[in-house]
Chains A and B, each alone.
Chain A
Amino acid sequence: MTKPQAIDVNPSFKENLPKEKFDELDSFVNNLETTRSALIEILHKAQKIFGYLPRDVQLHIARKLGIPGAEVFGVVSFYSYFTTKPRGKHTISVCTGTACFVKGSDKIIERVKEKLGIGSNEITEDGLFTLKDVRCLGTCGMAPVMMIDDKVFGRVKEEDLDNIINSYRNKEL
């Protein structure tokens, strides 16, 4: 990770990847004390700004840092926190940790999949939900646990799922 290169950086601006967002990312990178060992931090920031890490964003970061695009992609694909696909408006995370498993989270996640008609890491047709099965959320006391965006639902029962999901659907109406 050396200093920025002198190559002209021309990211492809698209509707969902507007220039302002790239500018925001650039100013974050410029304000870092050093870009050495900061790739993961930068990717976290980029995912916060864009919601996901499409190819163009990854290449933009690679050029900005003067490292091969493959290195950036290597890191993005290694960590489960980073996603290269757009996410729905709400992210439903179902905990698949051990404590939740022994309390039946495998059934919860199957039901959620049925109800939304998608698999893990997929997005519903209306773009409202993304489903993720996550590793331990660390709230094992409330197992089984699911999280929608930042809100945690504890001791979830199969019967509750309709209510929970619909409360988010209704917000959109």
Chain B
Amino acid sequence: MVEISNNKKLLRIALRNCGLLNPEDIFEYIALGGYESLGKAITQMTQDQVIDEIKKSGLRGRGGGGFPTGLKWELTKKQKSQEKFIICNADEGDPGAFMDRSILEGDPHSVLEAMAIGGYAIGARKGLIYIRAEYPLAIARLSTALQQAGENGLLGENIFGTDFSFDIYLKYGAGAFVCGEETALINSCEGKRGEPNYKPPYPVEEGYWGYPTCVNNVETFANIAPIITKGAQWFASLGTEKCKGTKVFALVGKIKNVGVIEVPMGTTLREIIYDIGGGIPGGRKFKAVQTGGPSGGVIGEANLDTPMDYDSLISIGSMMGSGGMIIMDETDNMVKIAKFYLEFTMDESCGRCTPCRIGTKRLYEILNKITSRKGTMADLDALKQLAYMVKDGSLCGLGQTAPNPVISTMKYFWDEYLAFIKDVDHPRGEGRYTAKNKIGIRS
């Protein structure tokens, strides 16, 4: 893994310790100020003060949705229940993303510390980390970290001599992308099939075994300790108006500098790709970048100056997702890329709801027909119509976002679709075909 350092545009908060300390030695973490925040939170602050600090910092969940973390904690705290849980979502199933893995392998204690702070704030005594089985090194490092934290009294009974007790357990995934969705994740933690549930009730109301449960992403947790020590104001001074702090991205694909980067929110794609990523190798031209993995969309040259934050990305038809960024050059065919993603979501659809189970399969079939040059304009029409049906009709985020790659490639790379169609005169231009239904085919 290449770490691209020495660039002024980078700013490390979540990755602050990665590569700098030995992740298997808790004392190195403590020497760099580790577990100070936990001490401060539980000895000097009330639960509400901790929540307030996180709320004021403007931290939003890094798992994809961008839900305000402080608010989620507050909602969980407000629930009346003798038991509550805090869960760390380390499922990172998005192909081409390895930000969470870098944090877990490089700085596992930052996650443990933050979970304890979160546990204190919401009133949970138990935390779970749901981690995918494909990450054996991260599992090993977490186990070591858990053991060392336990031995040093930083987890367990009466932490820092207070009456706050907190323990963390590991739960293993078994290879299912949908388990990253929080309700599916909770089912999987319970040892069941990882199918999502209808929301509401939200996990903060009824989660793990029916108890209020707060699910947060690894990177979200990695931001907590600095906010507690340095203060909400410092954090809120970084980033854009609506998105504070930094975001970690995994830069992969056709790019010179492959690796994990952390930049302030609002950095533009152009800065990321050219100034940090070093541009496209082999003298080829940039074509598009896919953000948000299979749930996101492609972004072409025209939108390269979009600042990276949750809302701007949604407005151009993609999404932040967890932070995978796949760069494609002029040799990549966008229809095939869309087909690749559909193959993924079709495979990973859990089958619980019909629009997603059957819709993704039909979308894939149409795309397959198109790429084998058997498609007609009517197929393009059907593709678009179906894409919106799946988007609107699915139960969970998987199905609701699965058509995004299709919709966005149709929007920005329409002529590549046309090039595959047999009944069009001008392969690279507009066809003669006129739309028959409301949705229409012209983008």
Q: Which positions in A face B, CB cutoff 8 Å?
A: 1, 36-41, 43-44, 74-75, 78-82, 96-99, 101-103, 134-141, 143, 150
B340 at the interface (CB under 8 A from A): yes
B302 at the interface (CB under 8 A from A): no
- With A78-B193, A98-B96, A138-B98 known, 14 other A-B pairs at CB within 8 A are A36-B191, A37-B191, A40-B174, A40-B188, A44-B172, A78-B350, A79-B173, A82-B174, A98-B341, A135-B177, A138-B135, A140-B97, A140-B252, A143-B252
Chain A nearest Cβ from B326, distance in angstroms = 5
Tell me how many residue pairs across A and B have CB atoms closer than 8 Å: 112
- Bound complex: CA A74 to CA B98 (Å): 29
Name the contact of A97 in the complex, choosing from B1, B2, B95, B101 (C-beta under 8 A).
B95
Contact B326 A99 (CB under 8 A): yes
Name the contact of B191 in the complex, choosing from A39, A97, A139, A150 (C-beta under 8 A).
A39
Chain B nearest Cβ from A105, distance in angstroms = 10
Contact A140 B258 (CB under 8 A): yes
Q: Which positions 157-187 of chain B face chain A at CB distance < 8 Å?
A: 171-177
Nearest-CB residue, chain B, relative to A134: B134
Nearest-CB residue, chain A, relative to B94: A136
- Bound complex: CA A15 to CA B326 (Å): 48
A37-B175 contact in complex given A137-B134, A141-B2, C-beta closer than 8 Å? no
SS class, residues of chain B in contact with chain A: loop
Contact A102 B332 (CB under 8 A): yes
A78-B340 contact in complex given A37-B189, A135-B177, C-beta closer than 8 Å? no
Q: Which positions 118-156 of chain B face chain A at CB distance < 8 Å?
A: 133-136
What are 30 A-B residue pairs whose CB atoms fall within 8 Å in the complex? A37-B189, A39-B191, A40-B173, A40-B174, A41-B191, A74-B193, A78-B195, A79-B174, A80-B175, A80-B176, A81-B173, A81-B175, A82-B174, A98-B95, A98-B252, A103-B253, A134-B175, A135-B95, A135-B175, A135-B177, A136-B96, A137-B134, A138-B101, A139-B98, A140-B250, A141-B2, A141-B252, A141-B258, A143-B253, A150-B136
Q: Which positions 178-237 of chain B face chain A at CB distance < 8 Å?
A: 188-195, 209
Contact B190 A98 (CB under 8 A): no
Cβ contacts under 8 Å, A75 to chain B: 191-193
Name the contact of B97 in the complex, choosing from A38, A40, A43, A136 (C-beta under 8 A).
A136
A99-B95 contact in complex given A78-B350, A134-B134, C-beta closer than 8 Å? yes
Name the contact of A78 in the complex, choosing from B1, B134, B172, B176 (C-beta under 8 A).
B176
Chain B nearest Cβ from A116, distance in angstroms = 22
A37-B328 contact in complex given A1-B191, A99-B95, A139-B1, C-beta closer than 8 Å? no
A136-B95 contact in complex given A80-B174, A98-B293, A98-B324, C-beta closer than 8 Å? yes
Cβ contacts under 8 Å, B195 to chain A: 78
- Bound complex: CA A1 to CA B209 (Å): 12
Cβ contacts under 8 Å, B350 to chain A: 78
Most chain B CB within 10 A, of A39, A80, A98, A101, is at A98
Pairs of residues from A and B, 6 with the lowest C-beta to C-beta distance, nearest first: A97-B95, A79-B174, A39-B191, A81-B175, A99-B252, A136-B95
Most chain A CB within 10 A, of B173, B326, B328, is at B326
Cβ contacts under 8 Å, B94 to chain A: 136
Most chain B CB within 10 A, of A38, A39, A140, is at A140
Q: Which positions 50-99 of chain B face chain A at CB distance < 8 Å?
A: 92-98
Nearest-CB residue, chain A, relative to B208: A37
B254 at the interface (CB under 8 A from A): yes
Nearest-CB residue, chain A, relative to B138: A138
Cβ contacts under 8 Å, A80 to chain B: 174-176
- Bound complex: CA A135 to CA B101 (Å): 14
- Bound complex: CA A38 to CA B171 (Å): 9
